[in-house]
Amino acid sequence: MRPSELSGAEFIARFGGVYEASPWVAEAIWPLAKSGVLDSPEPLGREMRTVVDGASVEMRLALIRAHPQLASRARMADASVKEQAGAGLDQCSPEQFEAFQRLNAAYDARFGFPFIIAVKGLSRAEILAAFEARLANEPEAEFEGAIVQIHRIAAFRIADIFEDRAAV
């Protein structure tokens, strides 16, 4: 099934979670998607990135804030649960869990939004090291860096959706 073969509701159901809790991104590209030009991962992802990058600062900040904290026990989207589990964040030692909680609090206090990193392919140690290093960044750099990481997460999610569809 290609995206262009889906109804609008089916398209939003399938691609609305690519950008965490932000179905407005998929909604914005639906008119183009139904034409068939977004029937593969690369153009679909590119068009979604364009929508996000063209959004207001307030909308991008809301998108950043829609992401869960790392190694959190809070309820999160299924995709986030899967991604964090893939990086072993659901298996932290008590010391690692405490480090994540401490860093989450410090990062949120400094920047006003959660630390965002595409965890796929990273170890807990690599994630913690990036977390510590990025705390020293300027707020503007972290805002832009969060958007870059969100785009990476979205690309992984799009690839997963297309792979899952191919397996059917």
Which one is catalytic: 29, 33, 64, 67? Answer: 67
**What is the fold of 3-167?**
UraD-like (1.10.3330)
Which tokens in the block code for residue 96?
Answer: 């690692």
Do 84 and 71 form a contact (C-beta atoms < 8 A)? yes
Q: What is the mean pLDDT of the chain?
A: 92
Positions of E strands within 38-151: none
- DSSP secondary structure letter of residue 112: S
pLDDT bracket for residue 91 (50, 70, 90): confident
Gap between the Cα atoms of 5 and 15, Å rounded = 13
Start-end of H helices in the chain? 8-15, 24-33, 41-54, 57-65, 78-86, 94-111, 124-134, 139-167
pTM recorded for the entire structure: 0.91
67 is catalytic: yes
Question: Which pLDDT does position 73 carry in this prediction?
Answer: 66
Question: Which pLDDT does position 135 carry in this prediction?
Answer: 97
Other C-beta atoms closer than 10 Å to the C-beta of 53 total 10
Say which residue the tokens 């090291």 belong to.
129
Q: What is the pLDDT of residues 134-158, one digit of tens each?
A: 999 999 999 999 999 999 999 999 9
